[in-house]
A = this chain, B = another copy of it.
Amino acid sequence: MSIGISNKKILITGGLGFIGSNLACRLVKHGNTITVVDSLIPEYGGNLRNIYDIQDKITVSLSDVRDVAAINNLIKGHDYLFNLAGQTSHLDSMLDPITDLDINAKAQLSILEACRKNNPDIRIVFASTRQIYGKPKYLPVDEKHPRHPVDVNGINKIAGEQYHILYQEVNGIASSVLRLTNTYGPRMRIKDARQTFLGIWIRNLLEGKTIQVFGDGKQRRDYNYIEDVLDALLITATKEEAVGKVYNLGAPNPLSLEDTAKIMCLEIEGSDYQMIAFPEDRKVIDVGDFICDYSAFCNQFGWEPKVNFEEGIQRSINYFKKEIKHYI
């Protein structure tokens, strides 16, 4: 698929994080001028190693999206904003809900106000999450599914989404929202499960530890490899039809957690997994099976994931085999 943004000025919040840095790596090849914004908060996904290959070709602003003055200034003059900064941990959002609100809701509103005042012609893509739906009432979950989050993170992400859509409708700021499911790949956070459990599983595999599967392992999940998500972000940013819209991403062949573990264990000789009971704090916010219906996005733009889980996880593990010391 040839999706082009070239010779543009592009701002990426969360740009030292997993998705943001991969996006910067792809976009920098096409003559774009890239500025990444990241606060490098240790618990989040930002990591300077993520831009090691391109650090002399992009501008890095170590700012926090909560810093209104910084954001007001940064937003100026850019053609595109990939708004990817976020607190992603469901568990942390329950332990420190106010911080989650400040980043996932309040900072988003400030960013949109900055656009309204300083750059109303900017094109925005906002990364949301399937977490906003909560426990599915039916599968696969389409965009019309009720939004009943099981954690504070989901509530704040709903607000973040809605601000973007509202500012499009009322102020004409051209925004789109993508609801991401489990995205994985090189440059993801593997230190712990804060970004996705796949991260800590990769780390444990590489450190020779047994993977822990919560519950009966039958809960199904859908996974998107990073390169497919980058395609989706770029399609969204460049299509007029996507303005003011909200789309799910997803994958065609959901896997049970146990099958996920099995596939991952095949990559590392001698590795293994075990089933353990749900820890209480995770049980109350677990959503069971989760499969996204991404047919709206697929039908509109022809997007389909191209990298299956076996291939994507192999590429990811190969990346971290070499790079692990920078990620733990």
Query: Which residues of A are at the interface with B, using a C-beta cutoff of 8 A?
Result: 94, 97-98, 101-102, 105-106, 109-110, 113, 144, 146-152, 155-156, 158-159, 162-163, 165-166, 169-170, 284-285
Contacts and interface: CB of A to CB of B under 8 A. Distances in A.
A113 B101 contact: no
Which of A113, A152, A163 lies at the interface centre, i.e. has the most chain B CB atoms within 10 A of its CB? Answer: A152
A169 to B, nearest CB: 7
Which of A105, A156, A162, A285 lies at the interface centre, i.e. has the most chain B CB atoms within 10 A of its CB? Answer: A162
A149 B170 contact: no
A111 to B, nearest CB: 12
Given A166-B151, A170-B150, A113 B98 contact: yes
Contacts of A148: 165
Contacts of A110: 98
Contacts of A285: 170
Q: How many copies does the complex hold?
A: 2
Contacts of A149: 162, 166
A3 to B, nearest CB: 29
Nearest to A110: B98
Given A105-B159, A170-B284, 11 more contacts: A94-B170, A97-B109, A97-B113, A98-B110, A106-B106, A149-B166, A150-B169, A150-B170, A152-B163, A152-B166, A170-B285
Contacts of A152: 109, 163, 166
Contacts of A109: 97-98, 101, 152
12 contacts: A97-B163, A98-B113, A101-B105, A101-B106, A106-B106, A147-B147, A150-B169, A151-B170, A158-B158, A158-B162, A170-B284, A170-B285
A101 B112 CA distance: 14
Contacts of A106: 98, 101-102, 106
Contacts of A94: 170
A150 B166 contact: yes
- Nearest first, the 9 A-B pairs at minimum CB distance are A155-B162, A159-B159, A170-B284, A97-B109, A155-B159, A101-B106, A101-B109, A98-B109, A155-B163
